[in-house]
Amino acid sequence: MSIRSIGIIGAGQMGNGIAHVCALAGYDVVMSDISREALDNAMGLIDRNLGRQVGRGKISPEDKDASLKRIRLTLDMTEVGPSDLIIEAATERETVKQAIFEDLLPHLKPETILTSNTSSISITRLASRTDRPEKFMGFHFMNPVPVMQLVELIRGIATDEGTFEACSGVVERLGKTSATSEDFPAFIVNRILMPMINEAVYALYEGVGSVKSIDTSMKLGANHPMGPLELADFIGLDTCLAIMNVLHDGLADTKYRPCPLLTKYVEAGWLGRKTQRGFYDYRGEAPVPTR
């Protein structure tokens, strides 16, 4: 089917970035959230990020203005229903995602494609709770969405070829590259990335190195742009823990056991940049390691 309109559920870190790139690519976008503040903050961030692209000469001021006009905000999730493609970008909790899809079902067009931006949850299981498992798949953007070039496309067991081709076409129009993953816990990127982050937390937990020495070693020794603990703070330690739990539960292998120190930071509410404290303290002029 031809995709002209895209509905986005969730105006957080991922949702606003997805709205940004979709509107810039010429799609009509409606973005929903339960919080007016979240919607307003998302539009402010999209405005600033588009402005940065203008400043770098990547887009014109006219492109920016046209993109902003293509985005409509709503607190009523049912207004997302008439979209050709819906991308769910809510919190990484399966019960929340299931509830969203169940609430949406009565308001969808028969041909609407449903997708989830989940980074780890079973697409087949999410699809099974809807009336259209053949028109459901994983549409996993990387963070930050306007910058990162990859989108993971994940077929559920029932996803049909037309749905896959339509989503592949959207990725291409966004100017990004798709990688196809099978529907196994955490897919490709996080199946590899999260155990590395978890192992870095174990190295910290066991006293192998400090926060600074671990991050410096990986940046200079492995040429990573960010150290694993710095990256964990950027992603959100709660998200990292949730993905490790999905891997551990789904694959039943002890190598995916979340580090107790990661669990402790999440219990403390030290979730990284979004709470101003994680493996670094961000409340001053420069980040300071917390261990």
CA distance to 42, 60, 162, 221, 279, per residue, from 276 (Å): 19, 34, 44, 28, 10
Q: State the pLDDT at residue 229.
A: 98
* pLDDT tens readout for residues 93-130: 899 999 999 999 999 999 999 999 999 899 999 999 99
Give yes or no for residue 256 having a pLDDT over 80.
Answer: yes
User: Looking at 140, 178, 198, 230, which residue is catalytic?
Assistant: 140
Please state whether 72 falls in left (phi above 0), alpha (psi between -120 and 50) or beta.
Answer: beta
Catalytic residue among 117, 122, 190, 198: 190
Question: What is the per-residue pLDDT across 128-156, written as a single tens digit (0 to 9) for each?
Answer: 999 999 999 999 999 999 999 999 999 99
3-state secondary structure of 278: coil
- The residue ranges of every structural domain in the chain are 5-181, 191-282
Residue 98 has a pLDDT of 96
Neighbours of 234 (CB within 10 A): 16
At 262, which amino acid appears? Answer: L
The CATH number of 5-181, from 3.20.20.70, 3.20.20.140, 3.40.50.720, 3.10.290.10, is 3.40.50.720
Is 140 designated active site?
yes
What pLDDT score was predicted for residue 91? 87
* Distance between CA atoms of residues 8 and 241, nearest Å: 25
229 close to 235: Cβ distance less than 8 angstroms:
no
- Architecture of the domain spanning 191-282: Orthogonal Bundle (1.10)
Residue of 88, 92, 152, 230 marked active site: 152
Which residue is catalytic, options 5, 116, 119, 198? 119
Task: Please give the average per-residue pLDDT across 249-270, as a whole number.
Answer: 97
Q: What angle do CA 59, 60, 61 make, to 5 degrees?
A: 125
Report how far apart the first and last C-alpha atoms of the chain are (Å, whole number).
52
Average pLDDT over residues 69-75: 97
pLDDT tens profile 160-194: 999 999 999 999 999 999 999 999 999 999 999 99
